Amino acid sequence: MRVFKYSLAAAAAMALTGCIGDGNESVLQSAAAVTPAPAVLPTPTMPAADQGRVATTQGIPTGNVIFMHPDGTGLSHWAAHRMYFHGLDGTSNWDLLPQMAVYRGHLENLVAGTSHGSATTHAFGFKVDAFGSFGMDGDGNLNPPTNRAINSLSGFRGSLMREAANAGIPVGVVNDGHIGEPGTGAFLAEVGNRDNWQEITRQMILGRTGMNDTAPWVIMGGGEADALPIGATTVHRNVNQERGAAAPNLRLSLRTDNLNLIDAWNGMGSGNASNDPALRDDFIVVRTRAEFEILRQALAANPTYAPRVLGLFAFQDTFNDRNEQDLINRGFVRAGVAPGTIGPAPFKQSRLVLWGDFDPAEPGFNPPTFAEMTEVTLTILNRAAASRTQPDQRRFFLVAEQESIDNFGNNTNAIGMLHAMQDTDRAIGAALNFQRSAGNERTLILTAADSDAGNMTVLSGENVVPAGSPRSGILPPGTAPNITGTVTSNPSAVPTTGTTPPSTAVTNFVDGVEGRQSPMFVTEPDQFGNRMQFGIIWPGSADYHGGILSRAAGLNAGMLNSHFSARFDNIDVYRMKHATLFGRLLNYPTATMAPTRP
């Protein structure tokens, strides 16, 4: 072997000219004999300015805003959803949102976001107290309470949604949970306690006391129990025993006053009391799948029909947020379907009844999905915006929250979480179809999640392959998936020394298609036709900080990769929405706290 000695500078020169590794020893010797000029390294440059914090007077194009809030959704959630429904090499609608930025969700006094605190920040543009804020800052649960009414970053005496509605812009909210869940409720209500469902519901429908609020155009979700007066019978059963109810078939309003919010909504507008879309009633209430379908048919038959709609499709939530074993024990299963059975793609229907009443004879059976509610709401809001007489009112603002991702995650229900993700993805698809259609290009679609519910992660590799089996996660055709077990999270054990307690092995269960000790999840085929097994594990049931990615498409979406490429947080969610609705990017707040409303 011949050894050649040469300087690092010579090596660098040869690398640049392609001489290293080409087998030409004479060239290498020649290069070694030459002393090259010292390499000129590029001058280090300072990082680009944090454009998202730089004051600007530049005008921003205005248009519609669709804010999608898949609550509790981290990157691991999206990865699990993709592999289960689309395959490892597949593409979801969420993947088609071209602009993206890492989301920072910390609040005034907490590293991780909370549903109510983060929603308030998204709605008002200030970081607020994480523990009690709901359309206010502070904590109404303390003694004495510290909650206080605040102005938003724009200076308006209320949220961005109230500012838009009171400016004549049609607004709407959609939630597959109670309409008063923070992700939607904090945009329309201001209370000191997130559990004050009665007052939240009242403010959403009738407005804030003394503020002369314009009614939203659309409100859809659950929460019928808080819309009827004390003693009234509800259409929906309290099938999930919400809020401490004693029996699953209870049909009794949870209000403690005589306010009938359904009648109040029906009484607004022209006075048409029919509540019938076929008669073009302008304020209607829908509570069942059948009524929802009548509304859809009326919208299809009348291209200009845009009623104000209050949809209440469940006693509390449309979803059944219990773990898999609990649902099975309670009878939330589809009759005649074998345990562990999954329906064919693309829907992959679970045996478990994850949304609505489990009894097909009940009005609450098969409620409208989040995606369906979103699609109908987009149709109505777009027509309402087109009918505005003032040009600066011809845009709309929609906040759509899939609460079930968070709630299923907080109950470590993997199959529920995955189907909730798929429902969100279909809603994103509906929003993209809307934005891409002629005349709707001036629309911003923006997504964000305030936290990572359950901090789930996918388990694969050796953990899914039984001992003695071929070392591959690929599931051979015609083979049943393996049954989930446990995974060790603290494998080392040491003897007790002095006062130090022993370190013992700790195990965590692995979720399958029906929870513990059930078949593994199986991906859709990858680009080579292979389907693989995986399980899901949870470190706990809390809302974690997690890895959250905001994505966007359409009007002003590029701001995520320009203005906010260095930093994008919950305040910037508000700023992007406000800029797209009103044409000016507000400066990032310099004050630590939101200003108290006079």
What domains sit in the chain, N to C, each tagged with a CATH number? 1-38 (no CATH), 58-451+556-582 (3.40.720.10), 457-494+502-537 (no CATH)
Alpha helices in 34-153 (DSSP H): 75-85, 115-124
**Do the beta carbons of residue 75 and residue 592 sit within 8 Å?**
no
Bridging pattern class, strands 171-178 and 397-402: parallel
Handedness of CA 239, 197, 319, 373 (dihedral sign): positive
Q: pLDDT tens, position by position, for the chain (598 residues)?
A: 433 333 333 333 333 333 333 333 333 333 334 445 555 656 555 456 788 888 777 799 999 999 999 999 999 999 999 999 999 999 999 999 999 999 999 989 888 888 888 999 999 999 999 899 999 999 988 999 999 999 999 999 999 999 999 999 999 999 999 999 999 999 999 999 889 999 999 999 999 999 999 999 999 999 999 999 999 999 999 988 888 766 666 899 999 999 999 999 999 988 888 889 988 999 999 999 999 999 999 999 999 999 999 999 999 999 999 999 999 999 999 999 999 999 999 999 999 999 999 999 999 999 999 999 999 999 999 999 999 999 989 999 999 999 999 999 999 999 999 999 999 999 999 999 999 999 999 999 999 998 888 888 998 865 566 666 666 788 889 889 989 888 877 666 555 555 555 556 678 889 999 999 999 999 999 999 999 999 999 987 778 888 899 999 999 999 999 999 999 999 999 999 999 999 999 999 988 889 999 8
pLDDT value of position 224? 97
- 506: its two tokens: 């700790």
Length of the chain (residues): 598
CA dist list (Å): 484 to 77, 451, 465, 513? 19, 27, 10, 9
What is the pLDDT at residue 493? 56
Residue 23: predicted pLDDT? 37
Binding-site positions for Mg(2+): 71, 401
CA angle 571, 197, 201 (to 5 degrees): 80
Nearest to 175 by CA among 299, 283, 313: 313
pLDDT at 156: 97
Q: How far apart are CA 450 and CA 545, in angstroms?
A: 8
Beta-strand (E) ranges in 269-389? 283-286, 308-312
**Catalytic residue (one of 26, 30, 76, 115):** 115
The tokens for 469 are: 């089996």
What is the rounded distance in angstroms from the CA atom of residue 207 to the CA atom of residue 189?
8
Give the count of beta carbons closer than 10 Å to the beta carbon of residue 2. Answer: 6
Radius of gyration of the CA atoms of the chain, in A: 28
- N- to C-terminal Cα separation, the chain: 86
Single-letter residue type at 597? R
Active site residue 115: yes
pTM of the full structure: 0.89
Residues 77 and 549 sit within 8 Å (Cβ to Cβ):
no
CB of 171 within 8 A of CB of 181? Answer: no
In the annotated binding site for Zn(2+), the residues are 71, 406, 450
For 34-181, where are the alpha helices, taking DSSP H only?
75-85, 115-124, 160-166
Reading phi first (left if > 0) and then psi (alpha if -120 to 50, else beta), residue 383 is in: alpha
| Residue 153: DSSP 8-state | T
* Degrees to nearest 5, angle at CA 211 with 208 and 216: 60
Q: What percent of the chain has pLDDT over 70?
A: 87
DSSP string for 232-255: PPPSS--TT-GGG-S-TT------
